[in-house]
Amino acid sequence: MEYQLELKQIVDFPRCRIYRNFIQTLLNDRSIRTTGGSFLFWYLILCSYANYSTSNRRMEQLTYTLSPGEWICSISELQDWFRCRFQHQAVSILTHLQEEGCITYSLLEKKRLVRFRITDWQKDNTALEYKYPCKKDTGFFFFPIGKAHKLIQTGKCSEMDILLDLWIHAVYNDPSVLCSDTGPVVYYRNNSGSPLTSFQTLGERWGHSKPTVSRLLKKLEKMKLITLVSFRGNHGSMIYLNNYLSIMFNISDVLIDKEEIAMQMKLPIYIPNETPAEDAAEREPLCVPEPVTDEQITVSKPIPCVPIPHIRHMVKKVAKLLDTQGISCCHCPRTRYILSPLSDCKDSIPVVRLNIICPFGAAEYHFELTIEPRPESAKMKPEKKGGRKGRSALPATPPPQKGRIGYRFMQPDQKAFPDIPEILLPELSRQIQKNADIRNREGGENYGEA
């Protein structure tokens, strides 16, 4: 008997690269609070000032030789770094870090100077043999991620600790993490490959309640430090870092599109309960026109299981994504979107062909959309008989079904656009009563109004 084996190496990076100028920027930013009990921010400050080579520093008319991982400073400087009002508060922070096994320190010159050493510095960072003055505002150092987990669990995190915890656990362009190619996303390495998390999980990690976590994340998003992508229901949220690429890799930062993230994660996209097609004549025209209007979308043959307003909403979402991917025709007001069914949804999953046609003949794109209905969930319970007088109990009606739509590019020679992931799109809720008037609407769809 013959076997074919496939061996893959699982690589997990136990260290994170932290730039010293990033820590200096956080030190100068007084809008982010540092009051907390996790000591992560204060420990990173000491790591940013530690030497990466042997150097000399003259303090109090004495010259001190400092080895890699050490530094000497005055109590007043340490008090300013830690934002403490009294000097004994700064010394108590050093004492706690020493008890945790992170540093060792000693007070010199009648407790006016502090000399500290980072434990296991040479294990995580390369120590240079020669003597050279170490700059504290340039370069970077490696920080062990396991140390961050240890400090986060010691107490309630401050706003600065939360920001650094997000920064340390950011992942970019990792094939094993979903949506990491879109931007630097926070992933806590739970071996699931999904960066989705909940406020309750973050609250348990940081020692805060769910409303406090929501308030802190919204504050960081208002300061344009993160981008919070939240989804409806119990799907969770994703956190992207805004300035991560420019600081870590010296490249331009990217904009995060929630609709694109929802397509890649196969999560539902909200469809409004009211269809804008019927009420467009009654509403006032908007100042900014839509990228794709209903007049640009043509359905050659209606699909019995998918209403036409839903199909138009899907096409608008797809066109918005393709516009961000580089298809310039999707924001042209004269582009035509023609849909024709390729299969019947009664016997199989419906497949629709989408043709994007440029009126000037510049390009023509073909896509194939597959709409797969979700299984029906539990039915709604009827109203109890003990209600108010004059109110009749409604019959049990099934909840709205949800469907998902996936599409693929049908032109193999077009290599400029990546594979488009799937979207989940919920259908509109509809209830049909027995004595309701049945009307014909666009595409032969039958609707009943209660």
Q: Is the pLDDT of residue 412 over 60?
A: no
The neighbouring-strand residues paired with 226 are 241
DSSP 381-428: PPPPTTS-TT-PPPPP-PPPPEEEEEEEE--TT--SSPPP--EEEEPP
pLDDT of residue 109: 86
Q: Is the pLDDT of residue 422 over 60?
A: no
Q: Is the pLDDT of residue 392 over 50?
A: no
More confident residue, 130 or 149: 149
Q: Find the mean pLDDT for residues 405-431.
A: 43
| Element counts in the chain: helices (H) and strands (E) | 12, 20
Q: What is the pTM of this model?
A: 0.62
Q: List pLDDT tens digits, range 24-38.
A: 999 999 999 998 888
- Closest residue by Cα to residue 150 from 196, 187, 117, 101: 101
Tokens, residue 416 = 């400029």
CATH of domain 169-256: 1.10.10
pLDDT of residue 129: 73
Q: Is the pLDDT of residue 153 over 70?
A: yes
- Could you state, in order of their start, the residue ranges of all structural domains in the chain? 12-154, 169-256, 262-276+291-375+401-430+443-450
> What is the CB-side half-sphere exposure of residue 291 using CA atoms within 13 A?
16
* Alpha carbon 84 to chain centroid, angstroms: 34
CA distance 331 to 335: 8
pLDDT of residue 351: 78
pLDDT band for position 405 (cuts 50, 70, 90):
very low
pLDDT of residue 221: 92
Task: Quote the crossing angle between the two packed helices 87-99 and 75-82, to the nearest 10°.
Answer: 80
Per mean pLDDT, which range of 149-158, 266-275, 390-399 is the poorest?
Answer: 390-399
Per mean pLDDT, which range of 58-72, 107-121, 185-199, 295-309 is the poorest?
Answer: 295-309
Per mean pLDDT, which range of 185-189, 317-321, 361-365 is the poorest?
Answer: 361-365
pLDDT band for position 193 (cuts 50, 70, 90):
confident
- Helices in 59-180 by DSSP H: which ranges? 75-82, 87-99, 121-124, 145-152, 159-168
More confident residue, 163 or 400: 163
Residue with the two structure tokens 């931007």: 183
